[in-house]
Amino acid sequence: MTGVLDVLAWAHRFADPLAWLVVGTFLAAAVLDVADRREARPLAVLGWGLFALFWLTLVHHFAFAQKSIVEGILVVVAVPACLYAGYLLAQGRESLMVLSRAVGVMGLVFFPVQTIDPARQFLIETVTRHTEFGMSLLGQTAPGDFTVVSGAEANPPRPDYRNTFEFYQGDHRITYTILIACTGLGSMAIFAGPILAVRAPLGRKLRALAVSLPVIYVLNLVRNVFIALSFGQSHLQVFPDVVMDLFGTDDPYMVSYYVADRLLAQFVSVIALVAITWFVVRELPEVGVILDDALFMLTGKEYDLAGALGAESATDRPTTQTTDRPMD
């Protein structure tokens, strides 16, 4: 088992280059699809194979380094799911070209911000300021209740951004650092990708973006405030021995963090994203084809999620027909 974990930890170094390769492959397939789907499909199938490798490089990071139950499970499931998507596409499930295009757009939204330092710093410091403002609305202000310092002063040191909250309990210092994963960018990319990828009128796309991205950003700030105060002020020291054993830590001050973030916030986030999905599909039924494919891969049954949610099907809009064409 140790040898497998060592290999998975070593593989994490390839995550970023693989991510760019996945995005480039899917976007190239999307461009080629405009001219000839028969030529684009093998490239998209290759993209799904590379996407499976990408998730495999993240298993150790999320499941063992970050000790995230939700993200760890999702990453492990994503590996066979991507391989299955590639298999179905190769077998002729043409609708998966829409999902392939959506993944490329998701990456185009997410990875430039993650990898370009000025963009990453701007987003992280903006979220930090807004989180600080959210705490002030609850009567928690600097420097009395906490201080905000550079990540370079954190332990262990982080990039030199103004993104670290310091709390003190007696002589003990607790630090909560806002990273790119704390900005909501990943969740926003997950929604922006399908919305921008489907063929639909621009007005409805913009409305779908308006009911998803701002809501995700605000809810993420609520999440940050909740975790920062719960962790920094140790409000969730529940079943400390059980929690420390579950997450493999001997630091009792980490109990509130794991309960607030890994157990409560992440599970509530899943519920929130499902609710936002409902609003998006109601506004932009074309996105339903992506969700239908996801449900088919899970259950082996065909679904019409847009219809089930009471949204008008894209095929019921004869003046704005935008569904993907079949293979010629």
Per-residue pLDDT of 189-222, as tens digits, reads 999 999 999 999 999 999 999 999 999 999 999 9
Provide the mean pLDDT of the chain: 89
Q: Which long-range contacts (CB under 8 A, 24 or more apart) does 276-282 make?
A: 276/191, 276/211, 276/212, 276/215, 276/216, 277/191, 278/309, 279/211, 279/212, 280/191, 280/195, 280/208, 280/211, 280/212, 281/305, 281/306, 281/309, 281/311, 282/309, 282/310, 282/311
* pLDDT reading at 328 higher than 60: no
For residue 119, the model assigns a pLDDT of 95
Query: CA–CA separation, 324 vs 282, rounded Å?
Result: 19
* pLDDT reading at 312 higher than 70: no
Tokens representing 41 are 């499909």
Percent of the chain whose pLDDT exceeds 90:
73
Rounded mean pLDDT, 57-63: 90
Per-residue pLDDT of 262-305, as tens digits, reads 999 999 999 999 999 999 999 999 999 999 999 999 999 998 87
Per-residue pLDDT of 157-192, as tens digits, reads 777 899 999 999 888 999 999 999 999 999 999 999
Q: Which residue has the tokens 């993104």?
A: 163
Tell me which residues are annotated as active site.
Answer: 182, 223
Query: CA–CA separation, 18 vs 302, rounded Å?
Result: 32
